[in-house]
Amino acid sequence: MAAKKSIKKNYLYNLAYQILLLIVPFITIPYLSRVLGVENIGINSFTLSIVAYFILFANIGIGSFGSREVALYQDDRKRYSKIFWDCYSYQFITGIISVLAYIVYVSCFGRYSGVQWIMLLNIIAAIIDMAWFYQGLEDYKYISIRNIFIKLAGVLATFLFVKGPNDLWIFVLINSLSAVLSSCILWVKFFKIADKPNFKEIRIFRYWKDSLIYFLPQIATSIYTVLDKTMLGIITRSEAENGYYDQTYKIVQIGLIVLISLNSVMAPRMAYLFGKGEKKEFRDRLKASFHFTFLLALPIVFGLIAVGPDFSTIFFGDGYEKVRLLLPIFAPIILIIATSNCLSSQCLVPTGKRAKSAIFLWIGAGVNFALNIITINLWQSVGAAISSIIAEIVIAVAFIILSRKVLSPKSLLAISTKYVIASLIMFGVLLVVNHFWSTISITAVATKIAIGAAVYFATLVFVLRDSFLINKLKLGAQKILRR
């Protein structure tokens, strides 16, 4: 049955795509940074931030809500098919409204109308998209294979057709068409695992109140993620500042990929366990997820602070010097977002506390919006980064409080202690290495990253004797030996 699908297999399928997402930016970002230039990168960032609001309305919370509902009834084809058609019909209506609203916006206020008209395809892709249905059924194999195929095709097209600063529109078109194709492919398999719609039984507005519970937090989340780029563009009127911020945030996203991959895979299973009343297993899995989160997030944060400035110089090339300053400031947000995302996806949403968490999301969004007005005027992209970090801290602390009955703050501190100690030791070693080896080169950066990783994992295994990591290494070794 669907509920018995292997979490490990789902995670590996999803991880395969996430690893591709880790590798691809190391190939495409340096190329695009040099070919398009910081101003065009900034234009792309600003226009994407605008279209994101219309995509948000097109989905109107159906993705998160629908995935959870399908997960709860993934053993009942008739039930989950009915849920899908009720949800999707509502998504289709809101998507059409969003398309019309975007056309009006670009016609009247489009600042970069050339690329903005092309980005209309992204909203159309959002209307067609129903990946949330497969997520609810825990069918990550199909999603991952689709994503890998589309991503590789997009990368190939980028290198073939994007050759200079005047090719920004081609780059935007490639990404937009990739989004449409990705959404269309989802329908190829759909009718093999779900029933055809009975149009007489479809209730378009059946879940509109429920979806709003998920939609309102998504609006708040957008305010302290997407709105940073929008406000940077409006307040500074500088494509370059948006470019600096966007490139820095891409590095942060690379650091978050593997962590968020686990959360997206675990969320449907956590909803299933909670629905079945398996409280102990629910709590144990949440603890294991935080071991994994802290194990990876903490060294990434301290590693970026120590090595990030030199890495950014090599990675982005000339014209991106400000990223050297932004990256160490932005680095802690990886740990903060990883923590709040884990609590949200694996605890608050499965236990039906999304409505309560929305209140704190709006508080965090308000803090971010207010601070942006002040800090962006004072420090431009640096100010936007500072505001984002403060807003994310507000959200993370609130989520920890909301989740305290399932996993107490003391438990989180206990889980993180060894990883904090190992990360600090690694950080100290890297500072010493930086002092005696100030050369900026690919060899130097790669060597420092290797030294940092070796020190971190050696400290956990041989000094701190972290049972979580040691057990995972033993299980991995046993599987290899069996083969």
Q: Specify the 3-state DSSP secondary structure of 162.
A: coil
The pair of structure tokens assigned to 136 is 């609810």
Indicate if the pLDDT at residue 250 is higher than 80: yes
- Helix then strand then coil, in percent of the chain rounded to 5, is 85, 0, 15
Of 180-194, 359-373, 379-393, 468-482, which gets the smallest average pLDDT? Answer: 468-482
Supply the pLDDT for residue 358.
77
Cα separation of the two ends of the chain: 28
> What is the average pLDDT across 258-279?
73
Helix axes 239-275, 381-402, angle to 10 degrees: 10
Q: Is the pLDDT of residue 61 over 80?
A: no
- Of residues 412 and 341, the one with the higher pLDDT is 412
Question: What 3-state class would DSSP assign to 157?
Answer: helix
Range of weakest confidence among 43-47, 201-205, 396-400, 460-464: 201-205
Compute the mean pLDDT over every residue in the chain, rounded to the nearest whole number: 87
Rounded distance between C-alpha atoms, residue 43 and residue 111, angstroms? 10
Mean pLDDT across 334-342: 92
pLDDT for 170-229, tens place per residue? 999 999 999 999 999 989 888 888 888 777 777 777 767 777 766 776 676 666 668 889
| pLDDT given for residue 8 in this prediction | 64
Q: What is the pLDDT of residue 355?
A: 72
Q: In this structure, what token pair is assigned to residue 5?
A: 């699908």
Question: In whole angstroms, what is the distance from residue 315 CA to residue 161 CA?
Answer: 22
Q: Which residue has the tokens 């098919």?
A: 81
Q: What pLDDT is stored for residue 200 in this prediction?
A: 77
At residue 35, the pLDDT reads: 95
Given this model, what pLDDT does residue 224 score? 60
- If you average pLDDT over residues 251-272, what whole number do you get? 74
Amino acid at 213: I
Between helix 140-161 and helix 168-193 the angle, nearest 10°, is 160
Asked whether residue 76 carries a pLDDT value surpassing 90, the answer given is no
pLDDT of residue 280: 87
Reported confidence tier of residue 100, pLDDT bands at 50, 70, 90: very high
| Predicted pLDDT at 1 | 40
Better pLDDT: 170 or 250: 170
DSSP letters along 146-199, please?
Answer: HHHHHHHHHHHHHHHH--SGGGHHHHHHHHHHHHHHHHHHHHHHHHHHSPPP-T
What pLDDT does residue 186 have? 87
Distances from the Cα of 395 to the Cα of 213, 363, 371, 398, 445, angstroms = 17, 8, 15, 5, 34
Predicted confidence (pLDDT) at residue 32 exceeds the cutoff of 90:
yes
pLDDT higher at 20 or 50? 50
Q: In this model, does residue 92 exceed pLDDT 60?
A: yes
More confident residue, 221 or 442: 442
Amino acid residing at 418: K
What is the C-alpha separation between 344 and 339, in angstroms, rounded? 9
pLDDT top residue among 141 and 452: 452
Rounded mean pLDDT, 19-42: 89
On the 0-12 / 13-18 / 19+ scale of CB atoms within 10 A, 62 is buried
Tens digits of residue pLDDT in 102-122? 999 999 988 898 999 999 999
Query: In the chain, where are the structural domains located?
Result: 1-215, 224-483
Entry pTM: 0.80
Tokens of 219: 């609006």
| Alpha-carbon separation of residue 335 from 130, 300, 343 (angstroms) | 30, 9, 12
φ and ψ of 91, to 5 deg: -60, -40
Residue 253 scores a pLDDT above 90: no
Q: What's the pLDDT band for 257 if we cut at 50, 70, 90?
A: confident
